[in-house]
Structure formats: C-alpha cells, structure tokens
Copies of this chain bind each other. A is one copy, B any other.
Amino acid sequence: MTDDQSSTAIRVLLAEDQGMVREALAALLGLEGDIDVVAQVARGDEVVAAALAHDVQVAVLDIEMPGMTGIEAAAALHRESPQTKIVIATTFGRPGYLRRAMEAGADAFLVKDAPAAELAEAVRRVLRGERVIDPVLAAAALAEGANPLTGRERDVLAAASDGALNAEIARRLHLSEGTVRNYLSMAIQKTSARNRTEAVRVAREKGWL
C-alpha cells in the first residue's frame, strides 16, 4: 500500500471478504518492517489477477469468500504463478480443508484463533521455502483419511444442507428421487450420522463439504 517501504520487503496480497478484518490484517502486517501489503481483494475470483498485477510474493487467503473459495483460488494461483507462496488463514481448522489446501498448492495453513504474530512469521517462513502447518491439525488430517464421499454423494448432501426436500434435490440435480435417497443414505453411513442434518454437520466439520 505504501511506497516508502524498503525494496526488499515481502510483497503480500490479502484476500478476505470482511472489509474490517481485511484492513485490520493489512494494518497489522503493515507494522512489520519487512512486509508490504501491496494488494487487497474481497473475492476469491479476484486473487489471481491481483497477484499477477502486483508481482505478489506471498498470497494470504481466507477460505470462505464469494466468487471462489480460497482453496480454489490457491489452486488457480499455483497454476498461474507457481513461485508465489500461498498462506491459508481460516476461521475453521477443518482437517479436510487442510488436506485440500495443501493439495491445491498452499505452503501454510493457519487458523485465525492463533496469535497475530504467527501470520507475519508464516509469511516470512514460506518465503524461505518452509511449510507451516499446526501439528495437531496435521495429525487430525492424517487420521481422518481422505474424504469418503463420492462426488455425487457430496453434490446431493450439499443440496440437502439447507432443508431441500428429496423431490426438489432430484429436480435440481436431474436425478430420480430414489437415487437421491440412495446417495443420502450412503453419505449418512459414511459420516456415521443418523440423518442428513447430522451428516451435513459432520462433513462440514471435517472439511468434506
């Protein structure tokens, strides 16, 4: 943002949809003498263009954003600019999110519960080529194993999450109602839930949905 930083400062992009939080994080990082927030975006689908336009070295991405999730934006950025380091900073430390983020090319995964100092430190460490992950969360991700839901099971479970009736889900996804019931039944079993509502909750907590 400011041009009076040292030319060796790390050029950082911040992607976070809540304006107040994003600007506060930019202010916080701005206090670091070696970090320069050169771009801020509020939508996932603006990440790549902004990163390229500002010659960004480290992108700090929230996950839940409009336009594209932070994980999707990470994958896109990794494809377009493989040398750009990616830090995911998210509200929920869900194991499935961690797994997907790392698969998408992220170099660090932070939870917003952590002290603010960890964000600046992660920015410096990823630039040095390090990986930054909470060991407890890493263990949970490894213990959970891969997401057991097939693509279609996920689609149907996601469609059911807001209270949609089977008949409506069937219409929406161009399936028969019986097929919807089958997919939901499988999703309920794979999440060890008792019904769809519980299955949604479990899948979300694990970052499977």
A interface list, Cβ under 8 A from B: 17-25, 27-28, 31, 89, 91, 110, 112-119, 161-163, 165, 193-201
Besides A20-B89, A20-B115, A23-B28, 6 other A-B contacts (C-beta < 8 A): A18-B91, A20-B119, A24-B27, A27-B28, A163-B199, A165-B195
Is the beta-carbon distance between B17 and A113 smaller than 8 angstroms?
yes
* A27 in complex: contacting residue of B17, B19, B31, CB < 8 Å: B31
A91 nearest CB neighbor, chain B only: B18
Measured between C-beta atoms, what is the minimum distance from A5 to chain B in Å?
A: 16
* A19 in complex: contacting residue of B23, B114, B163, B196, CB < 8 Å: B114
Is the beta-carbon distance between A20 and B197 smaller than 8 angstroms?
no
Inter-chain contacts of A27 with B (CB < 8 A): 24, 27-28, 31, 116
Q: 9 closest pairs, A vs B, by CB? A: A163-B198, A23-B116, A163-B197, A24-B24, A18-B112, A24-B28, A27-B28, A20-B112, A24-B25
Q: How many copies does the complex hold?
A: 2
Is the beta-carbon distance between B24 and A195 smaller than 8 angstroms?
no
CA A18 – CA B111 in complex, angstroms? 9
State whether A163 and B112 are in contact (beta carbons under 8 Å apart), knowing that A28-B28, A89-B20 are contacts in the complex. no
Is the beta-carbon distance between B165 and A20 smaller than 8 angstroms?
no
Inter-chain contacts of A194 with B (CB < 8 A): 163, 165
A118 nearest CB neighbor, chain B only: B20
CA A119 – CA B19 in complex, angstroms? 11
Q: Which of A21, A165, A200 has the most C-beta atoms of chain B within 10 angstroms of its own C-beta?
A: A21
Measured between C-beta atoms, what is the minimum distance from A125 to chain B in Å?
A: 16
* A115 in complex: contacting residue of B23, B119, B201, CB < 8 Å: B23
Measured between C-beta atoms, what is the minimum distance from A44 to chain B in Å?
A: 15
Inter-chain contacts of A28 with B (CB < 8 A): 23-24, 27-28
Is the beta-carbon distance between B113 and A20 smaller than 8 angstroms?
yes
CA A112 – CA B64 in complex, angstroms? 14
Inter-chain contacts of A114 with B (CB < 8 A): 19-20
